[in-house]
Structure 1
Amino acid sequence: MPSTGYIVSALVIVAGITFALRAVPFAFLGRLRSSHVTAFLSQHMPAGIMVILVIYLLRGVDVTTSPYGLTEATGIAVTAGLYLWRRNVLLSIFAGTAAYVLLLHFLPAAHG
């Protein structure tokens, strides 16, 4: 069993590293706000992340058998359509998910 001093020193080191990892970003916050790279990323990354998530979602869709990706396509269409119409992210995500789940349960071949 490790000595008390060893355990205390390990806890102090872990606490120090945890504190530093949480505090260091605030030290650079001023520089990050005025950075052109940060401005570019904040403008373009949300769309990029959404594209990656949609591709990840669709990677396993089999369009050669019934329902031919209808559930996924409907969910995406409802989400995109509602967002373009209302500009409300939460509403579009919830409605698109609800449309997907409802079709998943009511289309007989959608269960795979």
Structure 2
Amino acid sequence: MPEPGYVAVVVGLSAAVTWTLRAAPFAVLAPVHDSAVVATLRRHVPLGVLCILAAHTLRDVPTGSVVAAPPFVVAVAVTVGLHLWRGHVLLSIAVGTAVHVTLATLLAGA
């Protein structure tokens, strides 16, 4: 069993390293926060993330089953429509996921 002093030093060092690693991105990115590059990324990355998630999801759509494909198609349409209407990424993803799970559950039970 290690000595209490040793454990305290290890815990303190671990906490210091963790805090530093979590604070470093904010300290490094603070000077570029108002740059044109960050503004462009802020504007375009959410839609890019949605496109990547949609492509990743749709590559596994079972095309041989009439029952399995509609939840995917409807969920993607709801996600895209909601994102274009509201522009909120988390809302779009959450609602699209909920629509897919609900339709897949309902159609699987039918």
TM-score (norm 1): 0.71
Question: Matches of 1:19 and 1:77 in 2, distance apart?
Answer: 41
Question: Matches of 1:92 and 1:6 in 2, distance apart?
Answer: 46
Question: Matches of 2:38 and 2:14 in 1, distance apart?
Answer: 30
Name the Cα RMSD after superposition. 2.7
Question: Matches of 2:66 and 2:30 in 1, distance apart?
Answer: 54
Alignment of 1:1-112 (within 5 A): 1-67=1-67, 69-84=69-84, 86-87=85-86, 89=88, 90=91, 93-94=94-95, 96-107=96-107, 110=108
Which whole-Å deviations, capped at 9, do the CAs of 1:40-81 have from their partners, x for residues lacking one? 322221111111111222232111222361110011112223
Quick one: percent identity of the two aligned structures?
37
Amino acid at match of 1:63: T
Following superposition, the deviation at residue 88 of structure 1 comes to 5.6
Whether the 8 Å contact between 1:78 and 1:92 is mirrored in structure 2 is no
Amino acid at match of 1:79: T
- Structure 1, unmatched stretches of 5+, are none
Amino acid at match of 2:46: P
Q: 1:10 to 1:55 in 2, by over 3 A?
A: same
Amino acid at match of 2:44: H
Whether the 8 Å contact between 2:61 and 2:69 is mirrored in structure 1 is yes
Which whole-Å deviations, capped at 9, do the CAs of 1:14-58 have from their partners, x for residues lacking one? 121122123323323431213343233222211111111112222
- Structure 2, unmatched stretches of 5+, are none
Amino acid at match of 1:58: L
Q: Bigger radius of gyration, 1 or 2?
A: 1
